Structure 1
Amino acid sequence: MFDSMTELNGDDSKDTILFMSEAGGDAARSVTFLDILKATSNFSQASIIGSGGYGLVYLAELEDGTRLAVKKLNGDMCLVDREFRAEVEALSSAAARHENLVPLQGFCIRGRLRLLLYPYMANGSLHDWLHDRPGGGDALRWRDRLRIARGASRGVLHIHEHCTPRIVHRDIKSSNILLDDSHEACVADFGLARLILPDRTHVTTELVGTPGYIPPEYGQAWVATRRGDVYSFGVVLLELLTGRRPVEVLPAQRRQWELVGWVTQMRSLGRHDEVLDHRLRGNGDEAQMLYVLDLACLCVDAAPFSRPAIQEVVSWLENVDTIGKSSEDVTNL
């Protein structure tokens, strides 16, 4: 199914990355390391499309037009070859495949080099649409945001409950929720922390979360949990509802503004409606949005065991359609 690289000066016959077709059938096509070098212009800066605590991400455009996202990991931080390969094969197995997860299609071990191959998602991330793309937030109506929340929750449910061993994501955030050609949400970067040496996870906070998404209990002990993932997912729900970033710098006041604290304060003052994205108001969806706001606030509860499990989150989101509808509408759903 997958093949790893030999050492840097290894046999060219083994110098191949194998990755499965989208259908996941038996026919796999091979891509050589030289193909990847050529497709990324020798990992040029112009090919970089992302970065993070794990390394850089490059866009690889193959000769037949196929586009891949190639994640180049920091080799000094990764597991040794055999352990790395075992973990990657688990992450790329059928059990780790779901329509709301970005599939790992191939990998490469070549000396100290570690590459992971994913399909390229041309529609970018939820973060792009909400915060960076001009007009992106306006384009995402409530029904679009709800569909994204539902899809992402199902992806998280799959890694929490249906993978063996179960996977804690550790870094759920809007930039790790990618949109496919149909704008369906796909959760990216799940399981990457399992590829890192245990004594290297202190090197960057991105290996255990991103500021604004990190649950408060991680400040006492750097032990990632599924309840911690639920907290981070709750922050993403708040982003969808408010259209605001999890953390914003307020230069005039010389302080940092945090979304979770602001929403909590506004709710305590009974000003629930005011936290909703102004671009979503006036369309008759307020009841549904407030229903999801209640869920988001349960997810970001400071007490881990007061948070719902991800299965409850999925069920809550599936029930949103019944909110604000007449009994006749509910019958016809």
Structure 2
Amino acid sequence: MNNFSGNIPDQLSNLTNLEKLDLSGNHLSGEIPPSLSRLHFLSWFSVADNNLQGSIPTGGQFDTFPISSFERNRGLCGAVLHHPCSPQPNSLHPSAPDKSRKKKIIIGLIIGICFGVGFTLTMLTLWILSKRRILPRGDSDKVDIETISFNSNSGISTEFVNDVSLVIVFPNNTDDIKNLTITEILKATDNFNQANIIGCGGFGLVYRATLENGTKLAVKKLSGDMGLMEREFKAEVEALSTAQHKNLVSLQGYCVHDGCRLLMYSYMENGSLDYWLHEKPDGAAQLDWPTRLRIARGASYGLAYMHQVCEPHIVHRDIKSSNILLDDKFEAHVADFGLSRLILPYHTHVTTELVGTLGYIPPEYGQAWIATLRGDMYSFGVVMLELLTGKRPMELFKPKMSRELVVWVQQMRNEGKQDEVFDPLLRGKGFEEEMRQLLDVACMCVNQNHLKRPTITEVVNWLQNIGANGQPPKLD
């Protein structure tokens, strides 16, 4: 309580990076400025116990705040309080409510007519598309309903049609996979034969697909709960069609076939970082220090593009070594955007379920279920510790203090044994100073206080300076 009084200043909406705003227990009056809904990073908001009135803003983060954020005010109303705002009567024109009601009825009829016409046009369009192929040069000829591709500079369509066998191939891809049919995908995966499985996740399996011309693709076949599968499918297509960068996995196309959702990616010859560090026999031994540092840098470039460059920015929410894929030159590509969230006015980074993977989940996710860019930084810090130590982030069968990688590394540093955390395969090769520098960066990223973690821009700069004259900052 600060004994604030008067109206909430509209200028607060200019603090675009504001994460918390607690104005509870004051003497504020007037309305909540609708402009506050533009604070897309706002994860905590409360104006309880004031004298506010009027409509609670909608959209953005305001659709996620609980009832307790607005309780005990003079006259707030809105959907969140289950108390709709009544229209104000017009004292000069007593019949205004009736006129308003008639107006709404007329508008409703117009909307209904427009919806009917729109639906008819949509069905007609789908029927036409089912009979014709849209070729890259703009010509048309008849084709089976299985195939359709787009070559347009107007952007990538992310509309989803249920139960129609369409293969949508993005216009920025090579001629090798243009006009790809579902039949060709089934043939390329040997009808999704188990022998072609190259990965798995919470929403389905990933298969190797080899086309007739020799081109390889990775095809993710989503399965499981229909609601979750649809959400994963849309999230990944939206995120990957928005983000195009050499250190992000490239989504080549997507498909809806018999209720099944397929996502097609560029094939990464060397699989995941997790496979090389923890699964492949002698895999870690083949990852020398220069290679591991290059992987960390490449992953940071991809993450920096997501966080800072692409519009809208993207929170990945599941950064881990199995989601960092390696091409034939061991260049890193950040993958698997199924849990990602675009930071848009109509999207929220506040989630209703705990997401992520054990060992990589930031501590604040379990407390407030808030997915943020700083949360991604914690997970990336864990990946850097994996590269340095060769250990998994969580090993359940070890003693308690050495079970969690982050806890064990911090304990060893506190005891002055930081060099003992390094992978024995890396020791004695003359790179100890560079490894200490990366360890400093990683430990800053896994700080328990998310406000003290660096941004990805800072991390990129520090990683670029490792081995050069400049050095990353030391921990306090």
Q: TM-score range by the shorter chain?
A: 0.7 to 0.9
Residue of structure 2 equivalent to 1:37: 186
> AA paired with 2:298?
G
Distance of aligned partners of 1:147 and 1:84 in 2 relative to their CA distance in 1, 3 Å threshold: closer
Deviation of 1:191 after TM superposition, in Å, equals 5.4
Deviation by residue 1:214-244 (Cα, 9 ceiling, x = unmatched)? 0111111222111000000000000011111
CA contact (8 A) 1:20 1:28 kept: no
CA contact (8 A) 1:91 1:104 kept: no
Please, which of 217, 238, 262 is the counterpart of residue 115 of structure 1? 262
Q: Secondary structure at the match of 2:248?
A: coil
CA contact (8 A) 2:217 2:264 kept: yes
Distance of aligned partners of 1:6 and 1:217 in 2 relative to their CA distance in 1, 3 Å threshold: closer
Equivalent residues in 2 for 1:64-75, closer than 5 Å: 64-74=213-223
Residue of structure 2 equivalent to 1:128: 275
Q: Secondary structure at the match of 1:72?
A: strand
Equivalent residues in 2 for 1:30-109, closer than 5 Å: 30-74=179-223, 76-78=226-228, 90-93=238-241, 95-109=242-256
Deviation by residue 1:31-75 (Cα, 9 ceiling, x = unmatched)? 111111122222233322211112211111212211111111236
Distance of aligned partners of 1:202 and 1:62 in 2 relative to their CA distance in 1, 3 Å threshold: farther
C-alpha distance in 2, partners of 1:152/1:193?
16
CA contact (8 A) 2:315 2:341 kept: no
Distance of aligned partners of 1:6 and 1:39 in 2 relative to their CA distance in 1, 3 Å threshold: farther
Distance of aligned partners of 1:28 and 1:122 in 2 relative to their CA distance in 1, 3 Å threshold: closer
Distance of aligned partners of 1:258 and 1:80 in 2 relative to their CA distance in 1, 3 Å threshold: closer
Residue of structure 2 equivalent to 1:331: none
C-alpha distance in 2, partners of 1:80/1:238?
34
C-alpha distance in 1, partners of 2:177/2:192?
24
Residue of structure 2 equivalent to 1:328: none
Does 1:293 find its partner at 2:439? yes
Asked which structure has the greater RCO (Cα within 8 Å, sep 6+), the reply is 1
Does 1:232 find its partner at 2:382? no
C-alpha distance in 2, partners of 1:168/1:316?
21
Distance of aligned partners of 1:50 and 1:88 in 2 relative to their CA distance in 1, 3 Å threshold: closer
Deviation by residue 1:161-202 (Cα, 9 ceiling, x = unmatched)? 11221111111001111111211111111354459x99xx87
C-alpha distance in 2, partners of 1:39/1:28?
12
Q: Secondary structure at the match of 1:71?
A: strand
Please, which of 395, 403, 410 is the counterpart of residue 257 of structure 1? 403
Does 1:267 find its partner at 2:410? no
> AA paired with 2:304?
L
Residue of structure 1 equivalent to 2:423: 277
Does 1:155 find its partner at 2:312? no
> AA paired with 1:291?
Q
* Aligned-CA RMSD value: 3.0
C-alpha distance in 1, partners of 2:286/2:239?
33
Distance of aligned partners of 1:211 and 1:317 in 2 relative to their CA distance in 1, 3 Å threshold: same
C-alpha distance in 1, partners of 2:401/2:466?
36
CA contact (8 A) 1:76 1:112 kept: no
Q: Please identify which structure carries the higher helix content.
A: 1
Residue of structure 1 equivalent to 2:368: 221
C-alpha distance in 2, partners of 1:89/1:52?
16
> AA paired with 2:202?
G
Residue of structure 1 equivalent to 2:167: 16
CA contact (8 A) 1:50 1:58 kept: yes
Does 1:304 find its partner at 2:450? yes
> AA paired with 1:297?
C
Distance of aligned partners of 1:216 and 1:48 in 2 relative to their CA distance in 1, 3 Å threshold: same
C-alpha distance in 2, partners of 1:193/1:322?
34
Distance of aligned partners of 1:194 and 1:113 in 2 relative to their CA distance in 1, 3 Å threshold: farther
CA contact (8 A) 1:248 1:258 kept: yes
Unpaired segments ≥5 residues, structure 1: 326-333
Residue of structure 2 equivalent to 1:329: none
Distance of aligned partners of 1:60 and 1:139 in 2 relative to their CA distance in 1, 3 Å threshold: same
Residue of structure 1 equivalent to 2:324: 177
C-alpha distance in 1, partners of 2:261/2:341?
14
C-alpha distance in 2, partners of 1:144/1:190?
25
TM-score (norm 1): 0.83
CA contact (8 A) 1:249 1:255 kept: no
Q: Secondary structure at the match of 2:403?
A: strand
Identity over aligned pairs, percent: 55
Q: Secondary structure at the match of 1:146?
A: helix
C-alpha distance in 2, partners of 1:88/1:270?
43
Distance of aligned partners of 1:271 and 1:88 in 2 relative to their CA distance in 1, 3 Å threshold: closer
Residue of structure 1 equivalent to 2:127: none
C-alpha distance in 2, partners of 1:244/1:92?
30
Unpaired segments ≥5 residues, structure 2: 1-149, 151-155, 472-476
**Larger CA Rg, structure 1 vs 2:** 2
C-alpha distance in 2, partners of 1:79/1:259?
32
CA contact (8 A) 2:240 2:337 kept: no
TM-score (norm 2): 0.59
* Corresponding pairs, count: 309
Distance of aligned partners of 1:69 and 1:27 in 2 relative to their CA distance in 1, 3 Å threshold: closer
CA contact (8 A) 2:314 2:340 kept: no
